[in-house]
Structure 1
Amino acid sequence: MQIKNHLLIKDDGTPVSYKPTPNKSGKFTPQYLVMHYTAATTAASAISWFSQSKAQASAHLLIDRNGAVTQFAPFNVITWHAGKSSWMGLVGLNQYSIGIELVNGGRLAKAGDKYICPVDQRVIPADQVVIAAHKNDGIQSPWQEYSEAQLEASIEIAALLVKTYGLKDVVGHEDISPIRKSDPGPAFPMLSFRSKAMGRNDDSVGELKNTVALNIRSGPGATFPLLCDALPKGTKMVVLKTEGTWSFVEVLNTVHGIMDLEGWVSTKYLAPV
């Protein structure tokens, strides 16, 4: 893909589907990329909503579960995706960021053995559901997983936006509005996504360290057995993959006499070295 005149162009040289939104402001120079979920399960519902003035909401792009992309405004025009928000000393991220919405039901409700999207009441297949705690509230909930095609398209576009506009970082709506919002949620692989968007070519997210003494377990959850005593604060590691709020890491230090230690740790206690 490429960007021409602040519009996204597909590999075949044609623009992605363009549905202009009335919910926009003046021109700006973006500094960040903010990832969202729609909290509903169809692209049609989001496209319809963003097309209405009464919505008072929009984004620059919508990415469907099959990877199809719809653009609502040029990347140099402010859209209304962030709401009341702040990040790195900036207040009101609409005027500083590009917004991408991913079609995803978000946090789900459970009725019997079925998982339901609360917004449109559609049933989510069980094989698309992950149980995880959100980093902002710690509540274990069912969430709809993102599709492979959706993530592949999102990473390609995010990397292109970072390169084209020199963006400083990729964040979630949950980061800039932590009290109000939970998107894109724990089913979204933010650590590896940010790493790839910002220019890394592998699946790890670079060298990290734990900010507190940290348990390392055999699986992604507090019920899995410990592999050894807690990792001392400041232990260096790299993340190989993520699942919900947990990361599978390779420990770079020799810890408690163990070399080449790999296991699962809670992502929220990790920070760049």
Structure 2
Amino acid sequence: MIADSGLVDGLRPSPNFGERRGHSRPEMLIMHYTGMADGESALRWMCMERSQVSSHYLIQEDGGVVQLVCEADRAWHAGAGDWRGRDDINSRSIGIEIVNPGHEHGYRAYPPAQVASVLALGLDIVGRHAIPPENVLGHSDVAPGRKQDPGELFPWADLAAAGLGHFVRPERLSGGRFFGRGDSGEPVAAFQSMLAAYGYGIDPTGDFDERTRAVTIAFQQHFRPCKVDGIADMSTITTLYRLLGALASSPLAAQGGSRGAIRTA
């Protein structure tokens, strides 16, 4: 095994990989946290055949970068999920595991040295593979409800400011109309359509069901992390609208003024 990046500090080959299915090069970069007690435990687990999990890279809390799977191969890091109507995320992506105990084991902020390595490695990967900013994602973005990593403490705003990923300034919290579990109607369908237009796997049914709540939480963890509650308040809706408008090819015109429908209905 040969390192794909000059930023790699060490190699720990994992047996858990295969060929990419129908995709010669990755088009997404997926961020994870390890959700285990320490980095060595996570490395051992991903290098055990019985675990059936791996990632291309792991970044230690001190910023050390370990490569486990060659970028040309399909690592087993994402599981079931979809983004922009595309499934088999493992075949379409490169996965980075970031050492952090996660929500179940004492979730905490990511150290500066670790964030610096995430930024450097991420920029290296997206530059070599021409991965668009809006396809730099968290595990929770492609698997809402099933996964919640890297979580609301992950510094998406700082990374985007340095050129990695897609982000806009979140709208401040305020009052106004909001939607939550059990609500239904055209405004809910408009909100669901906006989430789908950005890339989330959701159908515009008009019913604010558990799936909609899970996708809203995933969106908030990534793009409006100051309050993660699964409620589509005006801060969440306006941030989503702003994010759609900031895309290089914005789908807002095709949405027929979704935000207006939400506000006036």
If the length of structure 1 is used for normalisation, what is the TM-score? 0.61
What residue in structure 2 maps to residue 245 of structure 1?
225
1:245–1:266 Cα contact (<8 Å) kept: no
Higher helix proportion (structure 1 or 2): 2
Alpha-carbon separation, structure 2, partners of 1:266 and 1:187: 18
Tell me, yes or no, if structure 1 residue 8 matches structure 2 residue 1.
no
What residue in structure 1 maps to residue 155 of structure 2?
189
Tell me, yes or no, if structure 1 residue 24 matches structure 2 residue 4.
no
Length, aligned pairs only: 185
Structure 2 counterpart of 1:45, which letter?
S
Runs of 5+ unmatched residues, structure 1: 109-116, 118-123, 125-142, 217-241, 248-264
1:67–1:150 Cα contact (<8 Å) kept: yes
1:191 Cα deviation from its structure 2 partner? 3.4
What CA RMSD, in Å, does the superposition of the two structures yield over aligned residues?
A: 2.9
Alpha-carbon separation, structure 2, partners of 1:76 and 1:190: 26
Q: Summarize the Cα distance change of 1:243–1:25 in structure 2 as closer, same or farther, 3 Å threshold.
A: closer
Alpha-carbon separation, structure 2, partners of 1:191 and 1:172: 13
What residue in structure 2 maps to residue 120 of structure 1?
none
Which one of 34, 38, 44 corresponds to residue 38 of structure 1? 34
Runs of 5+ unmatched residues, structure 2: 176-221, 228-233, 246-265
2:55–2:97 Cα contact (<8 Å) kept: yes
Secondary structure (helix, strand or coil) at the match of 2:54 reads coil
Which one of 92, 104, 115 corresponds to residue 100 of structure 2? 104
Identical aligned residues as a percent = 30
If the length of structure 2 is used for normalisation, what is the TM-score? 0.62
Q: Which structure has the larger Rg over C-alpha atoms? A: 1
Tell me, yes or no, if structure 1 residue 215 matches structure 2 residue 212.
no
What residue in structure 1 maps to residue 49 of structure 2?
53
Tell me, yes or no, if structure 1 residue 144 matches structure 2 residue 108.
yes
- Greater mean alpha carbon deviation, residues 96-105 or residues 26-35: 26-35
Task: Tell me the alpha carbon deviations over residues 72-131 of structure 1, each in whole angstroms, 9 at most, x when there is no partner.
Answer: 0111111000000100111120000000000001114xxxxxxxx2xxxxxx5xxxxxxx
Higher strand proportion (structure 1 or 2): 1
With CA pairs under 8 Å and 6+ residues apart, which has the higher RCO, 1 or 2?
2
Task: Tell me the alpha carbon deviations over residues 230-253 of structure 1, each in whole angstroms, 9 at most, x when there is no partner.
Answer: xxxxxxxxxxxx998129xxxxxx
Q: Summarize the Cα distance change of 1:199–1:99 in structure 2 as closer, same or farther, 3 Å threshold.
A: closer
